[in-house]
Structure 1
């Protein structure tokens, strides 16, 4: 792990800690699933702006795989190439009208289907690798 990787991981740790409650627990679980899907996935912080100085937790492998946003009532996992992915268990529940992007909003009582999410992540990595 490079110092940049370590720094991003620490910043994502801080995002999780600052979220608190169910959103922190959900984001921590999503992170574990994402990182377990492929050993080459790295964490980055992107899109820092005055209204969001902490940036956006992003997982990358030869391009963006997905990014997490903390909303008031949801943890949103957005896949830039989501429309290209096979989603037989219908995890995607928002951004369905986009030609490219798909997202999953996890609400307070939403279960995380680890196996189905891991399959989506694996597909997203393959799409980035040109598969």
Structure 2
């Protein structure tokens, strides 16, 4: 069995989220027969984002992404959604760690009404 690059990517994203906001709580929600492990969710004063693996990509969906400034243009999916925004990452896509951590911090501020 070959190693799945998506697992490493998820692990790195988890590290970045914890670096940005050490008090973040990770939980697996929405378990179902087709996805018995559920969906990893990250919360602090409300839902920040979900992290999912799809064929060929990893998807980070920010629950309140439409209300978060994204000066580095990390959001590249769900751009027309009313409330959420997402980042789709394929195997060779780079994710700027500092810009991503800034986005996590902005999501927490949005949850806190700031």
Give the TM-score normalised by the residue count of structure 2.
0.94
* Correspondence for 2:99: 116
Unaligned ranges ≥5, structure 2: none
* Correspondence for 2:67: 84
Give distance in 1, aligned partners of 2:48 and 2:103: 10
Structure 1 stretches of 4+ moved >3 Å: none
Cα deviation code 1:16-63 (max 9, x no counterpart)? xxxx42101111111100111112211111111121110001111011
Aligned partner of 1:51 among 12, 34, 45? 34
Kindly tell me the number of residue pairs found equivalent between the two proteins: 112
Cα deviation code 1:77-102 (max 9, x no counterpart)? 00010001111111000000101010
Give distance in 2, aligned partners of 1:69 and 1:34: 15
Query: Are residues 1:128 and 2:111 paired?
Result: yes
* Correspondence for 1:63: 46
> Are the counterparts in 2 of residues 27 and 75 from structure 1 also a CA contact under 8 Å?
yes
